Every structure is written in C-alpha cells, then in structure tokens.
Structure 1
Amino acid sequence: MRSASCRFAVTMTLCGVWSMPAWAEPVLGPVTAEVTFVSSSASLGLGYTWGHGVLTYGGRQYPFEVAGASAAAVGFSSGKSIGKVYNLQRIEDFPGTYWALSGEATIGRGVSGSLMENDDGVRIRLDESRTGGRLAASPSRLTIRLLKPVEAPATPAAPAATGTP
C-alpha cells in the first residue's frame, strides 16, 4: 500500500512538472522575444555573474551584456542560456535590473532554470545548461545593458569611370 502511495505522489508531481510550459504562457503572457547568452558565475558566499548575449525581437537582433550579484552561493560555473521573453512592448523596456530567485546545483554538468522580471514588467524564463561546480539557492539581481550593434565594414566605392581612353 505504501509503495502505491509513493508511486501516485511521484506520478502526480511529474505530471505537474511536465505541464509547466502549458500553464506558464497564460500566467506570463504571450512570448514577445527570445534570448540566448553565455554567462559565468563565481561565488564564495556572495556571487558575481557576467556574460553577453543576443535578444531577438521584432525580426532584429540586439546584442547585450549581463552582470550582477547573488547571495548564498559557493563555486564556479559557466554555460549557455536560452529563454523566452514575455511582456516586452518596446525595445527600451528590455535593459534594466532583473530580479530572480534561482537555484543551481552543478557538479560537472547540470541544468537549471529561472524566471526573472524587471521594473517594466518584462519577464524572462530561462533554461540553462551549466558546467563547473557551484551550489546556489539565492536571490539574484542582474543588470542587462544593450550594446551598440556591430556594423559591417563599409565596402570601398568603385572608382568612377572617366570615359577617357
């Protein structure tokens, strides 16, 4: 009997986890953009995170950098994050300070996720793939700053034809 109760509880928990994406969108709103970035985190009680990435919004790509702090963390990890952005109405609302309550347990390789929100109501839901060794369960404060797009070098103009032989 006890084994059946445990299996039922595990089954219900897994059903809840698998259905998270289904209920996340109505709560967060429609997806308005996507982000990808790489970051590193180093911690010894207090932690620091830094990195860079790209926001894809309105058919354009906007490079950005991210940096910030966390508390109650130990270790070092780095990795790639991909995420969906919700409630972004204009590009000016994307940069700023984002708050998150996140956790990480990486030994070698690990995965994690987090949900961040800034003062303009822009939310980012991240799926992260990390390597290293870090344990964290803490509030985080990350600042995102848009960078100027890298422009392609101008091609030199061809000399004008003079018409003389």
Structure 2
Amino acid sequence: MIGRRLIAAWTAWGALGAAWPARAQRNRSDPNPDASIEIEQVRVGVLAVGASVGGGRLHFRGEEYRFSVRGIEFGSVGVSSLSARGEVFGLRRLEDFPGRYTEQVVPRQRAEGQSGPETRWLRNPAGVELRLRTERAGGQFRINDAGVTIELR
C-alpha cells in the first residue's frame, strides 16, 4: 500500500517537473500576444546634455494608439536612434497599458562592436508584459534603472 502511494507520488512529481520548464519559460498564462508595439526614438546629444524625441504605437483590438516613452537611455554624443518592435501580453483593457515598466531579465552583455537585435522583457504593475526586439544605431542602449514610463497621448 505504501509502495503504491510512493510510486504515485513520484509519478506526479515527474509529470510536474517535466511541465515546469515550459511554464517557467513563458512566465505567463497565455502565450498568444494581445497586441503589438512599435517604438521609435532619436537622441541628439553633446557630452552629458541631450534630448530624446519619439514615441510609439500600440496596435490593440484593431485600433492604433500613440504613446510617449521616458526612461530609455542610449548614446551620449552625436545622433543615436532606437527602433523596437514586439508583442504585448496580459493586456485586457487599454487602461492597463500606461505606467512604469521594469526590466524582467537582465540582457546578455554584448561583445565590443557586436550588433543585431536584442530582446528585452518589461512588465508593469498591472501585469502587462512587453517583449521588445530592439535595433539601435550609434551608441549604447539601456533601460533606466527606475524603469520605462509609458503614457498614452
């Protein structure tokens, strides 16, 4: 009797253990995106003084919504640009989209001179997650330590 219970318990643990990596990899209940997102930013800077111009577009339920972004830092001298595209998860109501987003996974460090897209995961307190693939030209790109603030226009 105890042997059967022990075997059943080990079988249940094995099934749970096999499913755990896939669930942890997604880290969300629904793997299908609720919306798509595009961000375009340009920064002009001389030494420590600079200004960023740009924003983004959210494509949600057949509509396009424009927004502004604060907290993306890139380039400190000259002209730098950032382009990001991605998916939005956990967005049930438009009101849940604006707010402060923080990075969920620290990106892998790039080798000197390495280029190409980076993938960033950001999440806000309402549970909305952004998966962004970024391209940049001229300078380094990073998320502000305090996070990124998105405001609908």
Give me the TM-score of the superposition, normalised by structure 1. Answer: 0.58
User: What one-letter code is carried by the residue in structure 1 that aligns with 2:82?
Assistant: G
Higher RCO structure (Cα 8 Å, ≥6 apart): 2
CA contact (8 A) 1:108 1:133 kept: no
**Deviation at 1:140?**
5.2
Question: Which of 67, 70, 74 is matched with 1:67 structurally?
Answer: 70
Q: Which has the larger radius of gyration?
A: 1
Residues 7-156 of structure 1: pairs in structure 2 closer than 5 A: 26-28=26-28, 29=30, 30-40=32-42, 51-68=54-71, 75=76, 77-100=80-103, 102-103=106-107, 105=110, 107=113, 109-134=115-140, 136=142, 139=145, 141-147=147-153
Q: CA, structure 1 residues 110+55, in 2 after alignment: closer, same or farther (shift >3 Å)? A: same
CA contact (8 A) 2:71 2:144 kept: no
**Deviation at 1:129?**
1.1
Q: Which runs of 5+ in 1 are unaligned?
A: 1-21, 148-165
Alignment RMSD: 3.5
Aligned-pair identity in percent equals 30
Higher strand proportion: 1
User: What one-letter code is carried by the residue in structure 2 that aligns with 1:33?
Assistant: A
**Deviation at 1:50?**
5.7
Give me the TM-score of the superposition, normalised by structure 2. Answer: 0.63
